[in-house]
Amino acid sequence: MSPYDTMIGRSKGFVGTCVNAFDEAGMCILDELPWSDVSAFAVADENARTISREQFTGRVVVPEALSDLLDGPEVAYLEMDGVLALHDLDADIHYLFA
């Protein structure tokens, strides 16, 4: 998503998690994500910018099944190479929005 998308109100949708975004060889299998493989994802995670809950929820559509995570005490909201992530720190799972 470009900065222009944000200006015109396009929201990011849930595309998957770090668990199901990569095949057994570590290659990214979700076209919506910018990473070629799990190594590129790890670099993006390391360089991610932390954002506020409000910044995150203002830019994504969170499925009801994930809404309980938003209020969890062990979550981080990240921007990673244009993808937004809700990182469940307790389970160490990134929920990815693109």
Residue 92 burial (10 A CB sphere; 0-12, 13-18, 19+): exposed
The answer to which of 9-13, 42-46, 60-64, 94-98 has the lowest mean pLDDT is 9-13
Closest to 34 measured CA to CA, from 49, 24, 25, 45: 45
Residue with token string 């809404």: 67
* pLDDT given at position 73: 84
* pLDDT given at position 8: 47
Domain that holds residue 26: 3-97
User: Which structure tokens are listed for 65?
Assistant: 């099944």
* pLDDT given at position 9: 58
Q: How far apart are CA 71 and CA 20, in angstroms?
A: 23
Q: How far apart are CA 79 and CA 81, in angstroms?
A: 7
* pLDDT given at position 94: 98
Which tens digits make up the pLDDT trace of 62-90?
999 999 999 888 999 999 999 999 999 99
What is the DSSP secondary structure assignment for residue 27, as one 8-state letter? B
Domains: count for the chain: 1
pTM comes to 0.88
Residues 6+ apart with CB under 8 A from 79: 48, 49, 51, 85
User: Span 37-44, mean pLDDT?
Assistant: 98
Residue 3 has pLDDT above 90, yes or no: no
